[in-house]
Amino acid sequence: MKNIFIKTMIIVLLTSASACDQSLEEINIDPNYPNPETVAVEYFFPSAVASTAGVIGGDYNLIGGIWSQYWTQNNASNQYKDVDAFIIQPSTFELGFAELYAGALNDLKFVKNRSKADGNWSYYLMATVMEAYTFQVVADLYGSVPFDEALRAEEGLLHPVYREGSVIYDSLIVRIDNALARDLDAETSENPGTADFIFGGDMEKWIQFANTLKLKIYLRQVYARPNVAEAGIEALYNAGAEFLSEDAAMTQFVDQQDKSNPLYEQDQRRLNTPNNLRASTTLFAYLEANDDPRLSELYQPGTPGQPLRPLRQGDFNAPNSGATLATGLARALLRPTDPVYFISEPESYFLQAEARERYFGGDEAKELYDAGVDAAFDRFNLNGGSFTDAGGAYAYPVAGTFEEKLEQIILQKWVAMAGAQGLEAFFERNRTGYPAANIVDGEWVDYGSAGWEPGKTTYPIEGVSENERLPRRLLFTDYERTRNPNTPNQMPFTTPVWWDVNPNSQYF
Amino acid sequence: MKQILLSVFLGISLACPVLAQDRTISGSVTSAEDGAPLPGVNVVVKGTTTGTVTDANGSYTLQVPTAGTTLIFSFIGFVTQEIEIGARGSIAVKLAPDIKELSEIVVTAIGVERSEKSIGYAATQVNSKELTQGRAVNPMASLQGKVAGVNISTASGAPGASTKVIIRGYSSIEGNNNPLYVVDGVPINNAANSNLHDATNVDINRTQDYGNRANDINPDDIESITILKGASATALYGSRAANGVIMITTKKGNADALRVDVTSSVTFSQPLRLPQFQNTFGQGWSGIFASEENGSWGPRMDGEMRFWGNTVDNARLIKPFSPVKDNLRDFYETGTSYINSIGISGGNDKGTYYISYGNVQEDGVIPSGADAYERNTLSVRGSTRGSKLSTSSGINYVNKKANIVTTGQGSDAATVFQEIIQIPRDISIVDLKDINYKFNNLDNYFTKYAQNPYYPVLKNGNDYNEDRVYGNFSVSYAFNDWLNATLRVGGDVSNAQVKDWIAIARTSPTSPNFDVTQTAGRVDERSRFASELNGDFLVTAGHSFGESIKVNSLVGVNINDRKTNNFHAYVTELGIDDFYNLSNSPNPPASTRVASHRRLLGVYGQIETSYNDYLFLNVQARNDWSSTLPPGGNSFFYPGANLSFVFTEAMDLSGPLSFGKLRASIGQTGNDADPYDVYSIATPGSVSLPHGDIIFPLSGVNAYEVYNELGNLNLQPEITTEYEFGADLRFFNSRLNIDATYYNGLTRGQILKVDIPFTSGYSRRISNIGKVRNSGIELLISGVPVRTENFSWEMSANYTKNVSRVEELMDGLDKVTLNEIYDLNYVAKVGKPLGMIQGYDVERDPQGRVVVNAADGFPKILPDKVDFGSTVPDFTLGFSNTFTYKGVGLSFLFDYRHGAWMYSYTRHLNFFVGNATQTLYNDRQPFVIPNSVINVGNDDQGDPVYVENSTPIDMENVNSYWYHSQNPSRGRDFLVEKTFLKLREVVIGYDIPKHILSKTPISALNVSVVGRNLWLWTPKDNNQVDPEASNFGNDLMSELGEFAVGPTVRSMGFSIKATF
C-alpha cells in the first residue's frame, strides 16, 4: 500500500516536472510583442512620421487654424470655446506634445541610433530631418523644450532639462548638416521604398526637404539673430542648395476609421458633432472680397445647398437664430484623405521668395512668389494665374518697399496654409506681423466698424486674454509640470518666444 | 439509490481497501441542558481514525473494529466525553455544554484545521446560514457589513456585476489588492471581466462589467467561509495572498442518511438611489427656452402649454411646461431574480458524496432584456476514508450567460446612463420609448446633443457566455499516527465568448439632427481563456513531548501556473442593419491576440508548538520563485510567527470572564509583478488623437514603435511586513464577546507604472516606487442580551478603522498620478492616504478673498492643483440583530461607512445640464461671487493691489459658472461624500415546527421573507448616487468613483428551504 502511494507520488511529480521544462525566465518573455532590438528600422520610421503628422495635422492644425482665424467655434456647440476665447490651460493640447516626444521623437531617435550603427545613411537622413522638423515645431510653440537630455529614460535620465529655442536651433542645423554629409549611396544605405511615406524613397527630395527646413529655421530667427540668419542662408545658396518643388507631406490617408487625416478623424469622424469649426469672417471676407474660388474649397455650407455664410471670430455666443442660425453657417471643409503637410510646395516658394528679397536684391522673388500662389491654387486644381497677373488681386508689388513685398508674401502664405498648416501660419504671423491686425489708434476694431479691413487679424469677440493680447505660445504642460521637476516656471501664453521680437508683430 | 450514488462517487476517488469491521454500535446524543438531540456530533473510536457524526436526529451508527474499546464524543461548545464500550451495542450520551472549551475548528492556510484558540491572528469564519439567508446571488455580497476589517461593495445593481472585497485597506498602488480565493485548499481564478480592458488602467469609454469569477460560486454549496487577514495568517499561501485570503469550504456530505436540500427564492428589485432633480427650471440654456437643448437651463417652468421637439411633417408636439417629477424613476422596471438550488448528500463511514445543481436567473431594472444574467452551477464531490489512505475530490461546472448595459462614456455609440441625464425636467422619458415614432427617432429626437436613451438600450447590446470548470483532487496517506503526506492538485479553466454590437445610427441629410455624428456600427468578438493549475505536496508530522508540549510541523512544495489567452476582433462601418457579424463590413476586421503565462514555485514550512493547551506558538516561512521577476532576482523569502495565549486556562480566574485569549503575530508576504514587466517591447504603430486614433497598417505599410512603458530589469517584489495584536474576551458564559485587533502593515517597493515625463521618450517606467502603511483597529462586539426558552435576542457590531498613509515615493517624487478625469487627478501622495483626489482651486488674496477676472467676474485659478479629498473612509460599522421567538426569526443588518470622497460623473453631468438641485443656487440670478476681489495692479513695492469686486456672473454665464470648462475650480462640485448608512439585510424566517412535518417526507422547512439594501441614507449634498457604485473595476481605481454607472438596487423577495 505504502509502495503504491509512493509510486503514484513519483509519477505525479514527474508529470508536473515535465510541465516545468520552460525556465521561469523564458516564461516571462512576452509572446505578444517583439523585442525592439529584433525589429528593422523600416518598421519604426513610418510610425514616427505618422505620429508627427497626427499632431501637426491634427491638434496643431486645429489650434493654429483657429488662432490664424480660418475657423471659429460654432455658436451651437462648445468644443473649442477655450481655444477661441484664449482660455489657455497647461492641459491645453498637452496630448500633442506628449505624442511628439513619446510617439515620434523617441522612434526617430531609435531609427537614428540604429541606422548610424549600421551605416544606413538614407534612414539616418530621413530620421534626422523629421527629428529636426519636429523639434523646431515644439520649440517654437513652447519657447524652450527638453532637447539634449530628452528621450533618454533607458539611461535613467528621467527629468530632462529644458533648453532655450535658440540653442536647439543651432544644434538642429549641425545635426542636419551631419546627416547631409553622409554617403547616401553607400551599400549599407537602404532604399526605404514605401516605408518612406513622404517621398517613396527618393533621397534627392529628402536633401531638398533638409535644405528647405534649414531655410525655414534661418528665416524664423531673422529678427532675433539677423546675422545668424543671413550667414546661414547665404551659405545655403552658395553651396547650390536645391529646395522643395513639391509638397513634403504624408498622403497615405484613406476614408476609413483609424486611417484618415488626423483632423478629419478627431474633429469630424469621432467627435460627437462635426460642426464645431465654422468659417471665420477674417479669412472668409478676404477670399470673398477677392472673388477667390478657394472659398468653396475651404468651406462648405452649413446645410447642403445653402449659401456660404461666415461667423465672426470668437462669436460663439451669438444667438442661434437669424443671421447666425448655426445650421446656416459655413463649416470647415475637411476631407478624410487630406494630406498632412510638413513643408508644402507653396510654402517652399514663399520661403525662397522672402530669402531672395532679403539677401539677393529680390532676384527671382516675383517668380517664386507667383509660383507659390499658383501652387496654392493648384492644390485644388484651380488656376491662380489671373490673380498674380499685373493688376490681379494678388499681384506682387514689384515696385513696393521690402515690407510691402514681405506682407504680400506672408499674406498669401497665410491663405495658402488655410485649413492645412494652421500652426505654421500662426508662427509666421508672430514673426512678421502678417496678416496685420485690425487695430486703429491702439484699439482693436470690431468687424464691420470703421477702419476694419477684411483679411486682417481681429480680436475674438469673446476673447478674454489679459489686455486683449494674442497668444504667442502654449503653457508648459500639466504632464510635464507634474512629472518633470525640471520644467521651468510658467510664462504667460501672451509672452513671445525668443525669435518673436519683430516690433511689427507686437500689436500693443 | 443511495448505494448507487455512493459507488459512483467513490469511483471518482481512489479505490481503497475496506478494512475488517467487527461490530456495530448505535445510539443517540442529546444535550444535557435541554435534552434536545444534537446533530453533527463527532463520534470516533479512540486510537483510530474510524468515526462518524450524528444525523439530524442526533443518532449515529458506527462499525467498531475489534481493537476499539472506547468511543469519543465531541462537539463544539460541549465537554468531550469518552465512553467505554464494554459489551454494549447501543450507547446513548448526554453532552454537557462547555463554555470554556470553545475549540471551534478553523480552517487555516493550506487547508490545515486548527482549534480557534490556538490561532495567534485574527481569522473570521462565517457559516452557511449567514451566507445564504439574504439570498444574494454571489457569496461575497452576503458578507457585506458582517466582517470587521473587510470592505465589500457591489459595483452596481446590474445583474452579475462584480463584487469588490478589500481586506485591511489598499496596500498596492497599481497591483492587485484583491484577496486570494481558495476553494477547498486550492486557489481559484478571480479575474474580473469588467471593462475588458487592462484591470489597472481604467478606461471610461464603454465600460462593461461581466462580474468577477469569485461570484461564480453557488452560495448554497458553501459550508463556511474563513477570512484570513494578516500577513502571518496568509504567509503559507505565498505571494498571492498578500491581500488576505478568502477560504471557502464547500459542503462535502456527511456520513449520514441520504439528504436532499432544496432552496428556492424569488426577489424583486428596484433602483435604490436615483439622482434627485430640480423641478423649477425647464428646457433651455442660459435662461432662454430652446426646444433643441439637452438641459434644464431654460426659464422657470410655468405650466403653460408649449410646443416642444422638432417639427416633423409640418406638425409639432405640445405639452405643458411643467416638471415631470418622476421621469427618471418611471424609466426603470422592476427587476426579478430567481435562485433555485438542490443538493443531495450522504455517505457512510467509508466515504461521503455531495451533488448539487444551482440555477440563477435575473433580469435587471433596465427596460427590456438588455440586462440579464443566468448562471447554472453543477458540483459533484466525494471523499473516501480508510485507515491509511483518504481521498477527496470535487469538480464544479459553471455556465454563465449575461447581457449587460454598457456604462461610462460612449465613444463609438451613446450609452444609456449618459443620455438619460440629458433630458430636460419637463420631458417625459417613458414617452420616448417607441424609437420608431417619428418624433422619437434618430432624425427627429428633440435634441441633437444626445440620443434617445432607448436607442442604445434596444439597439446596442452584447452576449456573454462563459464555461468554467474548476475542481480539485487530494489524496492523503497516513504513514503512522504522527506522519501524514498529502498531494492536492487543483485546476480552474474558463473560456468566455463575448460579442458586443453597436447599431448603425445615421440621420437623414434633411433632418434636424443631420449634423450629429453618424454612428457607423461596430461588432466586437472576444474569446477569453484562462487556466490555473495548482499543486501542493505537503508532509505533516505531530509529536508530543510529555503531557504538556505538543508539536505539529508541516513542510510543503507548491507550483502554480496561470495562463490567459485573449482574442479580440472587431469591424466598424457595418453594411446591413441589425446584422452583427465580422463579415458585415467593407473593412477587414482588426484583430489582436494577447496571451500571458506566469508561474510560481514555492516551498514552505510551519512549526506549531503548544504548551498545556493554552500557549501556542506558530512559526512559518515560505520562499517563492516567480516567473514575473527578473532572473537572478526572482526569489523571495518571507517568515512569520504568531502566538496565542489562552490566559483563562493558564490561570484560574473567577468572575465574569469565561474565556480570554491574547494573540500577537508578525509576518511578511510578498506580491510579485505582472507578467512581462521586465523587458521592453515594440508595439504595433498607432497615433493617439484626442478623439480616435490612427492605426497601422496604413496604405499597405505595417509599422511598430517602441512601447512607451519602459521595462525594468531590476524589478523586485512588493513586500508587506505586518504585525498585529488582539484579544478575544468572552464574558458571562459567552453572553458578551469582544474581539479586538490592532494591526500595522507596511508595504514597500510597490510595483508601479510610474508616470515619467513624455519628454524622456516614455510615458511610464515600471519601478518599485512606494511605501504605504495601513494600520487599524478591528473590533467585534457580540452578545446575547436576552435568552429565554422561547425568545432570544442576539446582536453583533463590528467596527473597522483603517488608516492609510503613503509614507514615501522613490525617485524624489512627492506624488504619483493614478488616473485623471477632466480636471481631477487621482494621486498617491506622500503623507496622505492612498487615493487622493486633486483639482483646481481659486486664487485668493492674502486676506483669503477670491480673486476674480474683472471682465466676467469668474474666479482666477491657481496653476497647481490642490487636495480635494481622500477616497479612504474614516471607519466602517456593521450592526446586526437577530430576534428569535419559537420558530420565527427576524434579523436585520445595518452597514455604515463614514468619510471619504468620490468623483461622480452622474453628478457632473447633472450640473452641466442643470438638472441637479444644487444648480438652483441664487435662483439662477446674476450674482457677485461673495467676498471676491479684483487685482487692479501693483503698489510701489510691487505687491498686488486688490479692490472689492462688483462684476456679477452674468445670467447667461450662470451655467458656465457651475461647469469646470469655464470655471475649473468647480471641479470640486463633482465630488460626493462617500458616507452612507444602509439597511443591508432584513430576513424574517419561520421554521415550520417538526410535529407538523412529521407526516411528510420533509424533515425541515423554512420560509423566509428577505430584503437587501432596502434603505440608504447619505449626507444631504449627495442626492445623486449610491457611493458604493463604480464602474472602474474592483480595485483601488474603483475608489475614485463612477462614470455614468447604473443605479444600485434594493431587493425584496421570498425564499423557501426544505430538507428531505
- The answer to whether B18 faces chain A, any CB pair under 8 Å, is no
Residue B26's Cβ-side half-sphere holds a number of Cα atoms within 13 Å equal to 6
Mean pLDDT over the full length of chain B? 88
User: CA-CA distance, A272 to A281, in Å (whole number)?
Assistant: 25
CA Rg value for chain A = 26
**What is the distance, to the nearest Å, from the Cα of residue B597 to the centroid of all Cα atoms in its chain?**
25
A45 vs B contacts (CB less than 8 Å): 703
Give the three-state DSSP class for A108: helix
* A43 touches A401 (CB < 8 A): no
Indicate if the pLDDT at residue B973 is higher than 50. Answer: yes
DSSP string, B703-769: -EEE-SEEP-TT---EEEEEEEEEEEEEETTTTEEEEEEEEEEEEES-EEEEE--GGGT-SEEEEE-
User: CA-CA distance, B654 to B990, in Å (whole number)?
Assistant: 39
Give the three-state DSSP class for B972: helix
Indicate if the pLDDT at residue B196 is higher than 70. Answer: no
In the block, which residue shows the cell 545668424? A228
In the block, which residue shows the cell 443605479? B1047
Q: Do A50 and B535 touch (CB under 8 A)?
A: no
Interface of B with A in 575-594 (CB under 8 A): 587, 590, 593-594
How far off is chain B from A288, nearest CA to CA, in Å? 26
Q: Is the peptide bond before B275 cis (omega within 30 degrees of 0)?
A: no
Indicate if the pLDDT at residue B816 is higher than 90. Answer: no
* Mean of pLDDT values over B283-292: 91
Give tens-digit pLDDT for B475-496.
999 998 889 999 999 999 999 9
User: CA-CA distance, A310 to A296, in Å (whole number)?
Assistant: 12
Indicate if the pLDDT at residue A304 is higher than 60. Answer: yes
* Residue A29, φ and ψ in degrees, nearest 5: -90, 120
Confidence of residue A273 (pLDDT cuts 50, 70, 90): confident
Confidence of residue B812 (pLDDT cuts 50, 70, 90): confident
Q: Report helix, strand and coil shares of chain A as percent, to nearest 5.
A: 50, 5, 45
How far off is chain A from B219, nearest CA to CA, in Å? 32
User: CA-CA distance, B968 to B838, in Å (whole number)?
Assistant: 12
* A253 touches A338 (CB < 8 A): yes
CB pairs under 8 A between A and B: 289
Confidence of residue B654 (pLDDT cuts 50, 70, 90): confident
A304 vs B contacts (CB less than 8 Å): 509
All cell numbers assigned to B217: 460560486
Give tens-digit pLDDT for B1017-1045.
999 999 999 999 888 888 888 899 999 88
B759 vs A contacts (CB less than 8 Å): 101, 145-146, 150-151, 160, 480, 484
A1 vs B contacts (CB less than 8 Å): 17, 388-389
Indicate if the pLDDT at residue B856 is higher than 90. Answer: no
B573, B703, B755 ranked by CB distance to A46: nearest: B703
How far off is chain A from B601, nearest CA to CA, in Å? 9
Give tens-digit pLDDT for B921-958.
889 999 999 999 999 888 888 889 999 999 998 888 88
Q: Which residue of A has its CA nearest to B713?
A: A154
Q: Do B811 and A270 touch (CB under 8 A)?
A: no
In the block, which residue shows the cell 444626445? B450
Interface test with A, best of B695, B760, B810, B956 (most A CBs within 10 A): B760
* Mean of pLDDT values over A239-249: 97
Indicate if the pLDDT at residue A2 is higher than 60. Answer: no
Give the three-state DSSP class for B198: coil
DSSP secondary structure letter of residue A233 = H
Mean pLDDT over the full length of chain A? 94
Q: Which residues contact B1047 (CB under 8 A, 6 or more apart)?
A: B156, B157, B271, B272, B273, B274, B332, B365, B1026, B1029
Q: How are beta strands B483-502 and A331-332 bridged, if at all?
A: unpaired
Report the phi/psi class of residue B49: left, alpha or beta, with left for phi > 0 and alpha for psi in -120 to 50: alpha
In the block, which residue shows the cell 517591447? B681
* B961 touches B970 (CB < 8 A): yes
Number of residues assigned to chain B: 1060
How far off is chain A from B244, nearest CA to CA, in Å? 25
Cα–Cα distance list, B744 to B669, B726, B871 (Å): 13, 12, 20
User: CA-CA distance, B993 to B688, in Å (whole number)?
Assistant: 69
Give the three-state DSSP class for A254: coil
A44, A260, A274 ranked by CB distance to B515: nearest: A274
* Mean of pLDDT values over B324-346: 93
Q: How are beta strands B686-688 and B693-695 bridged, if at all?
A: antiparallel
Confidence of residue A396 (pLDDT cuts 50, 70, 90): very high
**Residue B613: per-residue pLDDT:** 86
* B97 touches B32 (CB < 8 A): yes
Specify the long-range contacts of residues B576-585, CB closer than 8 Å, at least 24 apart.
Answer: B577/B503, B577/B504, B578/B459, B578/B503, B580/B499, B580/B501, B580/B523, B581/B523, B582/B523, B582/B525, B584/B523, B585/B523
Indicate if the pLDDT at residue B515 is higher than 80. Answer: no
B479, B706, B812 ranked by CB distance to A36: nearest: B706
Provide the residue type at A127 as one letter: A
- The answer to whether B863 faces chain A, any CB pair under 8 Å, is yes
End-to-end CA distance of chain B: 15
For the ranges A224-233, B593-602, B615-624, the one whose mean pLDDT is highest? A224-233
User: CA-CA distance, B916 to B274, in Å (whole number)?
Assistant: 12
User: CA-CA distance, B981 to B1014, in Å (whole number)?
Assistant: 11
User: CA-CA distance, B122 to B639, in Å (whole number)?
Assistant: 18
A102 vs B contacts (CB less than 8 Å): 708, 758, 761-763
**Residue A11: per-residue pLDDT:** 58
User: CA-CA distance, A424 to A340, in Å (whole number)?
Assistant: 12
What residues does B824 pair with on adjacent strands? B821
User: CA-CA distance, B698 to A49, in Å (whole number)?
Assistant: 12
B707 vs A contacts (CB less than 8 Å): 33, 36
How far off is chain A from B203, nearest CA to CA, in Å? 16
Q: Which residues contact A441 (CB under 8 A, 6 or more apart)?
A: none
Q: Which residue of A has its CA nearest to B412?
A: A270
How far off is chain B from A391, nearest CA to CA, in Å? 42
How far off is chain B from A440, nearest CA to CA, in Å? 22
Q: Do A28 and B762 touch (CB under 8 A)?
A: no
* B238 touches B624 (CB < 8 A): yes
DSSP secondary structure letter of residue A104 = I
A28, A47, A146 ranked by CB distance to B685: nearest: A47
User: CA-CA distance, A382 to B692, in Å (whole number)?
Assistant: 32
Higher pLDDT, B409 or B105: B409
DSSP string, B217-248: S-GGGEEEEEEE-SHHHHGGGGGGGTT-EEEE
**Residue A125: per-residue pLDDT:** 98
Q: Which residue of B has its CA nearest to A196?
A: B701
* B1035 touches B176 (CB < 8 A): yes
Confidence of residue A16 (pLDDT cuts 50, 70, 90): low
User: CA-CA distance, B762 to B748, in Å (whole number)?
Assistant: 24
Confidence of residue B6 (pLDDT cuts 50, 70, 90): very low
Strand order in the sheet with A331-332: A71-73, A277-279, A331-332, A299-300
**Residue B67: per-residue pLDDT:** 78
What's the pTM?
A: 0.80
**Residue B670: per-residue pLDDT:** 84
Give tens-digit pLDDT for A317-340.
999 888 999 889 999 999 999 999
Indicate if the pLDDT at residue B15 is higher than 50. Answer: no
Q: What ipTM did this prediction achieve?
A: 0.93
Indicate if the pLDDT at residue B1002 is higher than 50. Answer: yes
- The answer to whether B236 faces chain A, any CB pair under 8 Å, is no
All cell numbers assigned to B152: 465589500
For the ranges A320-324, A432-436, B233-237, the one whose mean pLDDT is highest? A432-436
